[in-house]
Amino acid sequence: MLIKKITIKLVFGSIQVLLSLVAILLAILLRFNAFDMQVALNTSVAAINFYVMFLLVFGFVFIVAGLFLVYDWWES
Nearest alpha-carbon partner for 26 in 14, 11, 41, 13: 41
Give the pLDDT confidence score for residue 20 in this predicted structure: 97
Over its C-alpha atoms, the chain yields an Rg (Å, rounded) of 16
The pTM is what? 0.84
CA distance 29 to 26: 5
CA distance 49 to 44: 9
Interval 16-61: pLDDT, tens: 999 999 999 999 999 998 888 888 888 888 899 999 999 999 999 9
Give the pLDDT confidence score for residue 1 in this predicted structure: 64
CA distance 22 to 72: 23
Interval 1-19: pLDDT, tens: 666 767 889 999 999 999 9
